[in-house]
Amino acid sequence: MLQLKDEMVIKDHRILDLLYAEARHNILEGRYPCDSSHYYMLGGIQARIELGSYNPSLHSSKFFRDNQDQFLPIHMRRGMIQSWFPKFSSKKTSPEVCLLEHYQKIPPNSTERKLTKKYLEFCWSLPYYGCAFFQGQIEMPVRGLTSLITHQDKPVLLGVNYNGIFLIDNQRASLLLSLRYEEFSWDLGIPAASQQENPDCMSCIFLQFLVLENGTRVSKILQVFSKQARMIDSLISGFVDHIKSKKNLGVNNKEQDEGTMVDGLATSHEDSSSQLHTAPPIISAPRLSNKLSKLTLATFDEQGRCIGKMGSWSFSY
Per-residue pLDDT band for 22 (boundaries 50, 70, 90) equals: very high
Mean pLDDT of 190-207: 81
Q: What is the SS3 assignment for the chain?
A: CCCHHHHCCCCCHHHHHHHHHHHHHHHHCCCCCCCHHHHHHHHHHHHHHHHCCCCCCCCCHHHHHHCHHHCCCHHHCCCHHHHHCHHHCCCCCCHHHHHHHHHHHCCCCCCHHHHHHHHHHHHHCCCCCCCEEEEEEECCCCCHHHHHCCCCCEEEEEEECCCEEEEEECCCCEEEEEEEHHHCEEEEECCCHHHCCCCCCCCEEEEEEEEEECCEEEEEEEEEECCCHHHHHHHHHHHHHHHHHHHHCCCCHHHCCCCCCCCCCCEECCCCCCCCCCCCCECCHHHHCCCHHHCCEEEECCCCCEEECCHHHHHCC
pLDDT value at position 288? 66
* Residue 48 confidence (pLDDT) above 90: yes
Percent of the chain with pLDDT over 90: 60
Q: What is the pLDDT of residues 213-266, one digit of tens each?
A: 888 899 999 999 999 999 999 999 999 998 888 887 765 555 554 443 334 567
Q: How confident is the model at residue 156 (pLDDT cuts 50, 70, 90)?
A: very high
What's the average model confidence in pLDDT over 279-295? 70
pLDDT at residue 316 tops 50: no
Q: Report how far residue 43's alpha carbon sits from residue 100's, in angstroms, rounded to the nearest whole number.
A: 9
Q: Which of 37-46, 181-190, 193-202, 217-226 has the highest mean pLDDT?
A: 37-46
- Determine the Cα–Cα distance for residues 96 and 64; give it in Å rounded to an integer: 5
Is pLDDT at 276 greater than 60 in this prediction?
no
One-letter amino acid at 65 equals R
Which of these, 185, 184, 186, 181, lies nearest to 247 by C-alpha position? 181
* CATH no. for 4-124: 1.20.80.10
Residue 158 CA to residue 224 CA, distance in Å, equals 8
- Banded model confidence at residue 144, pLDDT cuts 50, 70, 90: low
Answer with the residue of higher pLDDT: 170 or 254: 170
| Average pLDDT of span 16-24 | 97
CA distance 119 to 115: 6
Q: What is the pLDDT of residue 313?
A: 62
In percent, the amount of the chain with pLDDT more than 70 equals: 78
The pLDDT-based confidence of 44 (bands split at 50, 70, 90) is very high
Which pLDDT value is given to residue 198? 74
256-285 average pLDDT score = 53
Residue 143: band (very low, low, confident or very high) from pLDDT cuts 50, 70, 90: low
pLDDT tens digit sequence for 77-104? 976 334 444 554 457 789 999 999 999 9
Lowest mean pLDDT among 7-21, 87-101, 160-174: 87-101
Residues 287-294, mean pLDDT to the nearest whole number: 73
The domain ranges of the chain are 4-124, 174-315
Tell me what the mean pLDDT of segment 105-116 comes to.
95
Among 13-27, 31-45, 172-186, 288-302, name the one with the lowest average pLDDT: 288-302
Spatial distance between the Cα atoms of 233 and 289, rounded to a whole number of angstroms: 26
pLDDT score of 127 more than 80: yes
Residue 48 or residue 149, greater confidence = 48
Contact assessment for residue 200 and residue 211, using Cβ atoms and an 8 Å cutoff: no
pLDDT for res 265: 66
Please provide residue 84's backbone torsions phi and psi, each rounded to the nearest 5 degrees.
-75, -35
- Give residue 56's identity as a one-letter amino acid code: P
Residue 192 pLDDT class (50, 70, 90 cuts): confident
